């Protein structure tokens, strides 16, 4: 009925809907592209994993970790491991885009730039989560600590989201500089610090099975930081890839 009366309005509506669908298709295309490339080469994951295990190994000697003493430092060791392995993954994943010219190709696609951001963010997040999913059981096996607390998993998820949100933005800047890999941790660590602090504190509180009253503030803080950082990075990303 409306079709013959106001075809223009319909076309605009239809256009918007197609635009939204195209937006999400672009995000999923970028994520799939990263995952498919990774499944083929397995460069990134294997490097991140081996690196993570080496970090834990070094901690084992540096802190003289034993089954009895491990309780108090577990959350710290885990987060340092995730943060370092995450940096490795972020730097590599953006460097691949830059070197293979994928970024330039993606910029030609007539879709909002933020789709590119969310696509890379999701990709980086998935890599980080997979590494964590392997490191966690291994860690509990090696040091006989139980890490399978759903609250702890939630904290790790939230922390990883915040970390990848800032990391994706800053890594895409770092790869476009002369100093590249050297620069990423220097740019990233001081800015992402609040996320790491909140994540370590929340994990620690859960690890020592304190009451929820002491855990909640950190959890809320973590959620707030995630929202702030995702929103800020989403708005700033446009200017980082603009050429």
DSSP three-state, residue 209:
coil
d(CA 56, CA 140): 12
**Smallest distance, Å, CB 177 to other proteins?**
4
Report, in Å, the least distance between residue 59 CB and other proteins.
21
Q: Does residue 35 touch other proteins according to CB under 8 A?
A: no
User: What does the alpha-carbon distance between residue 52 and residue 58 come to, in Å, rounded to a whole number?
Assistant: 10
**What character string, x for contact with other proteins (CB under 8 A) and - otherwise, covers 185-214?**
-xx--xxxxx--xx--x-------------
202 and 222 Cβ atoms separated by less than 8 Å: yes
**At its nearest, how many Å lie between other proteins and the CB of residue 159?**
12
Binding mask 209-238 for other proteins (x = CB under 8 A): --------xx--x--xx--xx--xx--x--
Q: Which is nearer to other proteins, 33 or 113 (CB)?
A: 113
Q: Give residues 160-179 in contact with other proteins (rule: CB under 8 A).
A: 166, 169-170, 173-174, 176-179
29 counts as binding other proteins under rule CB under 8 A: no
Question: Is 165 in contact with 120 (CB distance < 8 Å)?
Answer: no
- Give the CA angle between residues 237, 240, 243 to the nearest 5°: 125
Q: Using the minimum distance from each CB to other proteins, give the nearer residue, 38 or 226.
A: 226
C-alpha dihedral (73, 171, 226, 38), degrees to nearest 10: -80
């Amino acid at each position: 009925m409306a079709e013959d009366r106001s075809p223009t309005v319909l076309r605009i509506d239809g256009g918007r809907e197609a635009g939204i669908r195209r937006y999400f298709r672009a995000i999923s295309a970028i994520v799939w592209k990263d995952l498919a490339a990774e499944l083929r080469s397995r460069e990134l994951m294997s490097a991140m994993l081996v690196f993570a295990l080496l970090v834990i190994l070094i901690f084992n000697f540096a802190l003289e970790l034993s089954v009895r003493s491990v309780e108090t430092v577990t959350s710290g060791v885990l987060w340092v491991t995730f943060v370092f392995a995450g940096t490795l993954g972020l730097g590599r994943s953006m460097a691949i885009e830059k070197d293979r010219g994928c970024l330039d190709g993606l910029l030609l696609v007539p879709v909002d730039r933020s789709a590119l951001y969310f696509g890379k963010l999701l990709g980086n997040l998935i890599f980080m989560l997979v590494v964590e999913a392997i490191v966690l059981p291994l860690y509990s096996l090696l040091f006989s600590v139980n890490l399978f607390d759903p609250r702890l998993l939630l904290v790790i998820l939230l922390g990883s989201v915040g970390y990848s949100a800032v990391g994706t933005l800053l890594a895409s800047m770092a790869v476009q500089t002369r100093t590249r890999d050297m620069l990423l941790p220097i740019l990233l660590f001081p800015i992402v610090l609040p996320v790491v602090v909140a994540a370590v504190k929340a994990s620690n509180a859960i690890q020592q099975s304190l009451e929820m009253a002491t855990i909640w503030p950190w959890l809320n803080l973590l959620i707030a930081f995630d929202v702030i950082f995702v929103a800020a990075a989403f708005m700033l990303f446009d200017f980082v890839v603009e050429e």
